Amino acid sequence: MLTDNDVLLPKAAKPPYETRLLTLAATSWLIVATAGQWLFGVYILLFYGQSTLAGDFERWNKVLPHGYVAGDWKGNLAVGMHVLLAAILVMGGPLQLLPQLRQRVPRFHRWLGRAYIVTALVVSTLGLFMTWTRGTVGDATQHVSISIQALYIIAFALLAIHYARTRQFAPHRVWALRLFMVVSGVWFFRVGLMFWLLVNGGPVGFDPHTFTGPFLTALSIFTYAIPLSLLVLELYLYAQRRQLKLFSLFVAGVIFLCTLIMGIGIVGATLGMWLPNL
Ligand code: HEM
């Protein structure tokens, strides 16, 4: 039976096949990324949360070569804050991208958004401090690359909050998505590394004792300094804007491939990196 709306309102045209495929690719990517980031978050809360609450700070050194140093309260505080606040980023980031949550509980989106941006600024500043005062695994290229990523995080966080405060929601969305990608860099690094280890059946192209080698140099450059995740995001945004059939199909294919690699890496990181430490 026809209703008034059927008569008065023109039916919204179904989006073309390639647009639906692009949306499906992005949605699958987000579902897999959310699951993987939450697993990382659960690991952070269980491993660092429990050891910190129990006052057993030396347990950090099971995974962090420069985690707890007796007598260096400033450095230890920085590490503790860095890792515990990181949980807000990996648990909260994917929530911010859910359209249903933004539409149904906009106040929650605004509050979590503020917390996310302040946390991103604090965690990346502490990360810079830790990298250059305490040192960490890896070589200078890895340290410089992750420091460049910290600068992206700070710049994108400030831009995302600026556009939200001036109610320019189109650029706000774009800068918030870019921020999510660079904040996720440390997670992409772990997932990328575990994907590589799984498909090669062991360390290839790097020395696991010194944590250096051509593979790790390339991984740190392309996740941190010149993030491929940002390139894929820009391709997706361009495809959404231009709606070109072949280009949309190409980008959907790239996103599906990234989702597959990420899924394998998440399984590897969960089984090989996070679960064994709990
Ligand atoms: C913003 C997103 C970030 C998150 C979510 C994050 C999360 C973490 C976590 C969970 C750890 C503990 C490692 C583990 O248990 O696997 C860690 C360690 C560390 N992070 Fe970050 N981090 C972020 C950004 C950064 C940045 C931008 C830098 C540097 C500029 C950095 C430098 C470090 C250092 C130096 C360690 C200690 C490693 C060691 O002792 O060898 N982090 N981070």
Q: If you search the block for the tokens 């995001």, which residue do you land on? A: 233
Task: Please tell me if the CB atom of residue 78 comes closer than 6 angstroms to any atom of ligand 1.
Answer: no
CA 50 – ligand 1 centroid, Å: 18
Nearest CA to ligand 1 atom 17: 83
Q: Where are the domains of the chain?
A: 19-277
Separation in Å, CA 216 to CA 23, 131, 187, 197, 222: 32, 17, 14, 12, 10
Q: If you search the block for the tokens 């960490």, which residue do you land on? A: 136
**Exposed, middle or buried: residue 152 (CB in 10 Å: 0-12, 13-18, 19+)?**
buried
Distance CA 50, CA 44 (A): 9
Residue-level pLDDT, tens digit, the chain, 278 residues: 444 444 444 556 788 999 999 999 999 999 999 999 999 999 999 999 999 999 999 999 999 988 999 999 999 999 999 999 999 999 999 999 998 998 999 999 999 999 999 999 999 999 999 999 988 899 999 999 999 999 999 999 999 999 999 999 999 999 999 999 999 999 999 999 999 999 999 999 999 999 999 999 999 999 999 999 999 999 999 999 999 999 999 999 999 999 999 999 999 999 999 999 98
3-state secondary structure the chain: CCCHHHHHCCCCCCCCHHHHHHHHHHHHHHHHHHHHHHHHHHHHHHHHHHHHHCCCHHHHHHCCCCCCCCCCHHHHHHHHHHHHHHHHHHHHHHHHHCHHHHHHCHHHHHHHHHHHHHHHHHHHHHHHHHHHHHCCCCCHHHHHHHHHHHHHHHHHHHHHHHHHHCCCHHHHHHHHHHHHHHHCHHHHHHHHHHHHHHHHCCCCCCECCCCECHHHHHHHHHHHHCCHHHHHHHHHHHHHHHCCHHHHHHHHHHHHHHHHHHHHHHHHHHHHHHHHHC
Nearest CA to ligand 1 atom 11: 83
Nearest CA to ligand 1 atom 9: 83
Residues 6+ apart with CB under 8 A from 168: none
Report the atom number in ligand 1 closest to the C-alpha of 131. 35
CA 102 – ligand 1 centroid, Å: 28
